[in-house]
């Protein structure tokens, strides 16, 4: 199973690129979203959870994500992890992800390149490079539509954590990438090229 990592700023189009790649590759694939691996904080009140920095690397359960990736690469099943963004709580499921005949495993997230153990296992590392203002607009649309957020909360979070963590960490992950993808996840030129490269590797 080939392991691909997709990294980039919040709103850059990581999930979209993963979906486009799966479609174009035409092989059975598994996609894990790093967002499902936020650490849980049941001891905190909702108000306290809201104030956490959800854009710093240590907010994620890197050990659990690494464990799940290794388990899938070994051909063994895992349970699907999930996160409730409206409550800022983990909401894992009992659904089982079985590798089966999967040929490709994709992990996407803002800090998917943070854990060197994970990085070293990646066959292909993709970084999406999109202008921050475009990412912000996409984030606003997503958070209001899909995560039940209010515009004031989104703005406060962007200024206090999203932009500072992008400047400190995320923008620098570009140096770990094998390929830098411009224009976001729907880059109609690069997706077929990447898909073709993966197919040629799987079927030499």
pLDDT tens-digit profile of 87-128? 999 999 999 999 999 999 999 999 999 999 999 999 999 999
Query: If pLDDT is split at 50, 70 and 90, which confidence band does 146 have?
Result: low
Task: Report the pLDDT value the prediction gives residue 103, as an integer from 0 to 100.
Answer: 97
> What are the b/e assignments for 14-37, b being 16+ CB within 10 Å?
bbbbbbbbbebbebebbbbbbbbb
Q: Which fold has domain 2-199?
A: Rossmann fold (3.40.50)
- Find the mean pLDDT for residues 134-152: 70
Task: Report the pLDDT value the prediction gives residue 150, as an integer from 0 to 100.
Answer: 72
Higher pLDDT, 117 or 151: 117
CA–CA separation, 4 and 1 (whole Å) = 10
Torsion of CA 148, 30, 6, 141, to 10 degrees: -20
Task: Report the pLDDT value the prediction gives residue 22, as an integer from 0 to 100.
Answer: 96
The length of the chain is 204
Task: Report the pLDDT value the prediction gives residue 106, as an integer from 0 to 100.
Answer: 98
Calculate the alpha carbon distances from 16 to 33, 43, 58, 76, 185 in Å: 11, 34, 25, 26, 5
Assess contact for 14 and 185: CB atoms under 8 A.
yes
Domain map of the chain by residue range?
Answer: 2-199
Higher pLDDT, 159 or 8: 8
């Amino acid at each position: 199973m080939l392991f691909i990592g997709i990294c980039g700023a919040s709103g850059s189009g990581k999930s979209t690129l993963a979906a486009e790649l799966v479609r174009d590759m035409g092989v059975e694939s598994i996609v894990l979203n790093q967002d499902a691996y936020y650490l849980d904080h049941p001891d905190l009140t909702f108000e306290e959870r809201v104030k956490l920095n959800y854009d710093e690397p240590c907010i994620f359960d890197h050990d659990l994500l690494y464990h799940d990736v290794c388990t899938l690469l070994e051909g063994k099943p895992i349970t699907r992890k999930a996160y409730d963004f409206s409550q800022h709580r983990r909401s894992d499921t009992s659904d089982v992800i079985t590798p089966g005949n999967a040929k490709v495993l994709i992990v996407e997230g803002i800090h998917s390149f943070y854990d060197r153990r994970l990085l070293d296992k990646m066959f292909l590392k993709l970084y999406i490079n999109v202008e921050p203002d475009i990412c912000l607009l996409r984030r606003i649309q997503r958070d209001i539509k899909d995560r039940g957020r209010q515009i004031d909360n989104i703005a406060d979070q962007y200024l206090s954590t999203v932009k500072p963590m992008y400047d400190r960490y995320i923008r620098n992950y570009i140096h770990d990438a094998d390929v830098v993808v411009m224009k976001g996840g729907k880059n109609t030129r690069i997706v077929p090229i990447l898909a073709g490269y993966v197919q040629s590797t799987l079927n030499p």
